[in-house]
C-alpha cells in the first residue's frame, strides 16, 4: 500500500551554513519503527537528488520517535551567500514529507496507516 | 555557591525574544503574565555581529541590539519592583554601551541605582586576529577547511561563543541584568539555573539539561505553537500566543510551560519539533560548558500546555570554543516580476530566457545566478508537483558577484522587461532591486585558553 510520509510524520527543518537539517517525527509512537526502516540514508539521498549537491547524514532519536537528516549542499552556499528563496532551509521539512512509502498491506493494516489518496 | 538543594524549589526562566526582530510585546507579556524569576532574551544570529560591527564603525556608541532598550523599558517595573532578572546577549560588539543605554532608561524612569548590570566581555577577538593567526591559530573554516588567512583582509567581526561561567559570575556579584556579547543562546538559560541551584562545572548531566532547556526556549514561541506543523489548524489563539517558560528543579528536570490564558500550545509534538530544530549530530551537541546528548531527552505530557523533560545526559566539554567570524563576500541582488494567467509559467520562463540572453550579450559573468518560480517550485524545486495551471507566477532571479558594478548592471535589466518582454506582467512597483553587500559567516574553532572573559558590574 502507498503511504504518504506527510500522513504519518511531522517535521521541522533549519540551517547550519550550507547544510539543511530535517527532523522527521512520527505522528504516533508505534509508527516510528516503520519510518526508521523506510527512511534510509539511500532513500533520502535519492529523494533529494537534484535538489542538494552534497551528501546526506542520518541520525536516529528513538527517544523522540524522530530521525534527523543533514542535507549538505542544500542552500546555495547558505546564509547570506544564498540566492534561494528558502536560504535558511525552513521548508525542507515539508519537501521531505513529500516522500511516499511502499508498505506491505498487512503491516499497513496492523499499524492502521492512512492510505495515500488515489 | 554551596546551597542545600531543595528538590521542590522551582526556578522559572522565561523566553522573551527568539531573535532580533521578534515580537516586541513578548518580553512585557512574559513578566506580566504570571510568575517568572528570569527573563531570557536572545538577539544574536550568525551574522548579526557583523551588522553590529558596521554600526559601531559608524558610531562608537552603537553596536548592540537596539530593540533591547525598548524591551528593558517595558519590563523595568518588573525588574525594579518584583526582582525579575534579565539575561540577554543584546550587547553585540558593544556590551558596555548597551549597559549605559539601559542605565539611562532606568534614570529616566526614576529608578537610578535600582539596576546592577553585569557586563560580560572578552568574546571579541577582532583586535586579536592577526596575533592569533601569528601564534598558529589558523581559524580554519569548520566546513571547508580553508584557513582564515584566505579572507583575512575582508574580516568584519570575530567573536568566540562563550558559555555560562561569566553570566553565573555576574549573577553571583548581584547583577539583576546581565548583558553579554556573543554568548551561546543556550547559556542564557543554563547560567541562571546553574547559579540558583549551585550546579558545579562538572555536573555534566545537569549542565546538559540546562543547555537543552535553553535550546527548547531559545527560539521563543517556536516551541509553544509557533511555526508548528503538527496539528497546526487546531492550535488555539495564535494571535495571543504565549512564549515558553522553563520551570526547572535542582535535579536537572524541568517542565516547559506558558502563562495561563495565553494562546498557542505546548505539547510533546510542539516541543519535539523544537528539539530537532537546527540539530546536527544529536549525540553530541557541543557547547562551551558541556556536550549534551539529545538522544537522552525524554518528554512527557504533564497536563494541559505542560511538557516534562527528564533523563538528559551530558559529557565533559571540549577544549575548544567556536568562533563566529563574518567577512565581506561580494554582492548580490534579487529581482522579481509577476506573470498572470493564461500561460503564466510559460511567460515567466520566456522572460527568464530573454533576461539571461541580454546579460550574456553584455558580457556579465556572475559567480552564481539562480532563477526560481515562486508559486510553482521555489521552495521544493524539482520535488514540486504541478496541480492545475498556475494562476500567477513570480519570476525571481538572483545573481552574486565580487564586482559590485556587475550586480548593479543586472538590477537595471529587470524593469525593462515590463515593456520589452513577455505580456501580462506586473508587480514591479518596488523599482530596481537593491544591491546588497554580502557578509558571510565563517565558523572556526579556537583553543579555550586563548579566550578570557571578564565581568564588570555597572550601576
pLDDT of residue B2 exceeding 60 = no
Does B408 or B45 have the greater pLDDT score?
Answer: B408
Query: What's chain A look like in SS3?
Result: CEEEHHHHEEEEEEEECCEEEEEEEECCHHHHHHHHHHCCHHHHHHHCECCECCCEEEEEEHHHCEEEEEECCCCCCCHHHCCCCCCCCCCHHHHHCCCEEECCHHHHHHCCCCCCCC
CA distance B240 to B78: 21
Spell out which residues of chain B touch residue A65, defining contact as CB-CB under 8 Å.
272
Contacts of B329 in chain A (CB under 8 A): 80-81
B329 — contact with chain A (CB < 8 Å)? yes
pLDDT, tens digit only, all 118 positions of chain A? 999 999 999 999 999 999 999 999 999 999 999 999 999 999 999 999 999 999 999 999 999 999 999 999 999 998 899 999 999 999 999 999 999 999 999 999 999 999 999 7
- pLDDT tens figures, B64-101: 999 999 999 999 999 999 999 999 999 999 999 999 99
Site of grid cell 592569533: B132
In the numeric block, which cell numbers belong to residue B269? 509534538
Bridge partners of A19? A16
- In chain B, % of residues over pLDDT 90: 95
A80 vs B38: CA distance, rounded Å: 33
What's residue B46's pLDDT?
Answer: 76
Specify which residues A67 forms β-bridges with.
Answer: A24, A60
So what's the pLDDT on residue A16? 92
B288-342 pLDDT tens trace: 999 999 999 999 999 999 999 999 999 999 999 999 999 999 999 999 999 999 9
Write out pLDDT tens, residues B385-417: 988 899 999 999 999 999 999 999 999 999 999
Residue for grid cell 549525540: B283
Q: What is the pLDDT of residues B13-33, one digit of tens each?
A: 999 999 999 999 999 999 999
| From B282, B379, B440, residue closest to A61, measured CB to CB | B282
Q: For residue range B279-290, list pLDDT tens digits in order.
A: 999 999 999 999
Q: Are B53 and B93 in contact (CB under 8 A)?
A: yes
Three-class secondary structure of residue B14 per DSSP? strand
> What is the DSSP-derived secondary structure letter of residue B244?
P
Read off the CATH number of the domain in which B430 is found. Answer: 3.30.70.1130
B226 and B119 together in one domain: yes
Asked if ipTM goes beyond 0.85, one says yes
Is residue B378 within 8 Å of residue A85, measured between CB atoms?
yes
**Predicted pLDDT of residue B373:** 97
How many domains would you assign to chain B? Answer: 2
Nearest chain A residue to B281 by CA: give it. A59
B284 touches A at CB < 8 Å: no
Q: What is the pLDDT of residue B4?
A: 66
A63/B396 touch (CB, cutoff 8 Å), yes or no? no
B445 found inside a domain: no
Q: Do B380 and A91 touch (CB under 8 A)?
A: yes
Q: Which residue, among B297, B120, B378, has the nearest Cα to A86 in the 3D structure?
A: B378
Q: What is the pTM of this model?
A: 0.96
Above 70 in pLDDT, residue B3? no
Chain B interface disruption, residue of A25, A44, A83, most B CBs within 10 A: A83
- Do residues B198 and B270 share a domain? yes
Q: Is B38 helix (H, G, I), strand (E, B) or coil?
A: strand
Q: Do residues B92 and B182 share a domain?
A: yes
- Domain identity same for B287 and B185: yes
CA pair distance B393, B107, nearest whole angstrom: 54
Chain A contact for B440, CB < 8 A? yes
If you search the block for the grid coordinates 523595568, which residue do you land on? B76
Same domain? For B380 and B251 the reply is no
Statement to judge: residues B119 and B30 lie in one domain: yes
The answer to whether B140 faces chain A, any CB pair under 8 Å, is no
Interface test with B, best of A85, A87, A90 (most B CBs within 10 A): A85
Whether residue B144 is contained in a domain is answered as no
Distance in angstroms (rounded) separating the CA atoms of residues B140 and B3: 42
Does residue B270 sit in the same domain as residue B308?
yes
Is B140 part of a structural domain of the chain? no
User: What does the buried/exposed string (b/e) look like for A11-30 if buried means 16 or more CB atoms within 10 Å of the residue's CB?
Assistant: bbbbbbbbbbbbbbbbbeee
Query: Cis peptide leading into B409, omega within 30 of 0?
Result: no
Residues B353 and B393 both lie in one domain: yes
Minimum-distance CB partner of B380 among A16, A70, A98: A98
Do B177 and B311 fall within a single domain? yes
User: pLDDT tens for residues B58-74?
Assistant: 999 999 999 999 999 99
CB–CB of B366/B401 below 8 Å? yes
Residue B219 belongs to some domain of the structure: yes
Chain B 208-237, CB below 8 Å of chain A: which residues? 227, 229-230
Q: Could you give phi then psi for residue A47, rounded to 5 degrees?
A: -60, -40
Say which of A19, A47, A80 has its CB closest to residue B438.
A80
Domain match, B231 and B285 both: yes
Tell me: pLDDT of B47 over 80.
Answer: no
| Same-domain status, B339 and B376 | yes
What burial class does residue B142 get, using C-beta atoms within 10 Å of its C-beta: 0-12 exposed, 13-18 middle, 19+ buried? middle
Q: How confident is the model at residue B48 (pLDDT cuts 50, 70, 90)?
A: confident
Whether B215 is in a domain gets the answer: yes
Domain carrying residue B204: 11-123+161-318
**Interface contact flag, B229 A91, Cβ < 8 Å:** no
**3-state secondary structure string across B175-208:** CCEEECCCECCCHHHHHHHHHHHCCCCCCHHHHH
pLDDT at res. B50: 82
Amino acid at each position: 500500500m502507498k503511504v504518504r510520509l506527510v500522513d504519518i510524520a511531522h517535521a521541522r527543518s533549519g540551517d547550519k551554513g550550507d547544510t539543511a537539517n530535517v527532523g522527521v517525527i512520527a505522528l504516533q509512537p508505534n509508527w516510528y519503527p516503520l519510518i526508521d526502516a523506510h527512511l534510509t540514508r539511500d532513500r533520502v539521498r535519492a529523494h533529494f537528488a537534484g535538489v542538494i549537491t552534497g551528501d546526506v547524514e542520518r541520525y536516529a532519536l528513538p527517544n523522540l520517535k524522530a530521525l534527523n537528516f543533514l542535507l549538505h549542499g542544500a542552500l546555495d552556499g547558505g546564509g547570506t551567500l544564498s540566492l534561494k528563496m528558502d536560504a535558511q532551509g525552513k521548508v525542507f521539512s515539508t519537501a521531505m514529507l513529500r516522500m511516499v512509502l511502499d508498505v506491505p498491506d498487512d503491516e499497513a493494516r496492523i499499524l492502521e496507516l492512512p492510505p495515500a489518496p488515489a | 555557591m554551596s546551597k542545600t538543594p531543595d528538590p521542590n524549589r522551582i526556578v522559572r526562566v522565561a523566553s522573551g525574544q527568539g531573535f532580533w526582530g521578534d515580537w516586541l510585546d513578548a518580553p512585557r507579556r512574559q513578566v506580566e503574565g504570571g510568575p517568572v524569576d528570569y527573563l531570557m532574551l536572545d538577539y544574536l544570529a550568525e551574522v548579526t555581529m557583523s551588522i553590529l560591527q558596521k554600526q559601531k564603525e559608524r558610531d562608537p556608541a552603537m553596536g548592540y541590539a537596539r530593540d533591547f532598550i525598548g524591551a528593558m523599558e517595558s519590563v523595568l517595573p518588573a525588574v525594579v519592583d518584583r526582582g525579575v532578572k534579565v539575561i540577554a546577549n543584546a550587547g553585540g560588539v558593544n556590551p558596555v554601551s548597551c549597559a549605559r543605554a539601559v542605565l539611562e532608561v532606568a534614570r529616566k524612569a526614576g529608578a537610578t541605582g535600582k539596576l546592577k548590570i553585569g557586563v560580560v566581555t572578552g568574546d571579541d577577538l577582532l583586535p586579536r586576529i592577526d596575533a592569533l593567526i601569528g601564534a598558529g591559530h589558523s581559524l580554519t573554516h569548520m566546513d571547508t577547511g580553508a584557513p582564515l588567512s584566505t579572507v583575512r583582509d575582508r574580516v568584519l567581526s570575530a567573536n568566540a561563543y562563550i558559555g555560562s561561567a561569566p553570566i553565573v559570575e555576574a549573577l553571583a556579584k548581584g547583577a539583576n541584568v546581565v548583558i553579554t556579547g556573543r554568548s551561546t543562546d543556550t547559556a542564557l538559560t543554563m547560567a541562571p539555573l546553574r547559579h540558583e541551584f549551585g550546579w558545579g562545572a562538572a555536573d555534566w548531566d545537569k549542565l546538559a539539561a540546562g543547555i537543552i532547556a535553553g535550546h527548547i526556549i531559545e527560539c521563543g514561541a517556536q516551541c509553544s505553537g509557533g511555526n508548528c506543523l503538527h496539528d497546526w489548524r487546531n492550535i488555539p489563539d495564535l494571535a495571543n500566543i504565549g512564549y515558553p517558560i522553563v520551570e526547572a528543579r535542582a535535579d536537572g528536570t524541568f517542565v516547559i510551560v506558558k502563562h495561563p490564558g495565553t494562546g498557542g500550545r505546548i505539547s510533546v509534538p510542539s516541543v519535539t519539533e523544537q528539539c530537532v530544530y537546527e540539530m546536527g549530530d544529536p549525540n553530541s551537541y557541543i557547547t562551551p560548558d558541556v556536550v549534551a546528548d539529545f538522544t537522552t531527552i525524554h518528554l512527557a505530557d504533564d497536563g494541559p500546555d505542560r511538557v516534562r523533560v527528564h533523563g538528559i545526559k551530558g559529557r565533559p566539554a571540549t577544549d575548544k570554543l567556536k568562533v563566529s567570524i563574518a567577512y565581506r563576500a561580494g554582492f548580490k541582488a534579487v529581482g522579481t516580476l509577476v506573470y498572470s494567467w493564461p500561460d503564466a509559467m510559460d511567460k515567466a520562463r520566456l522572460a527568464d530566457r530573454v533576461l539571461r540572453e541580454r546579460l550574456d550579450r553584455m558580457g556579465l559573468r556572475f559567480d552564481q545566478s539562480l532563477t526560481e518560480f515562486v508559486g510553482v517550485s521555489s521552495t521544493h524545486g524539482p520535488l514540486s508537483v504541478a496541480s492545475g495551471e498556475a494562476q500567477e507566477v513570480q519570476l525571481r532571479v538572483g545573481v552574486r558577484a565580487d564586482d559590485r558594478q556587475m550586480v548593479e548592471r543586472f538590477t537595471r535589466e529587470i524593469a525593462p522587461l515590463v515593456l520589452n518582454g513577455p505580456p501580462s506582467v506586473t508587480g514591479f512597483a518596488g523599482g530596481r532591486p537593491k544591491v546588497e553587500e554580502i557578509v558571510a559567516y565563517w565558523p572556526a574553532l579556537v583553543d579555550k585558553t586563548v579566550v578570557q572573559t571578564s565581568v564588570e558590574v555597572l550601576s
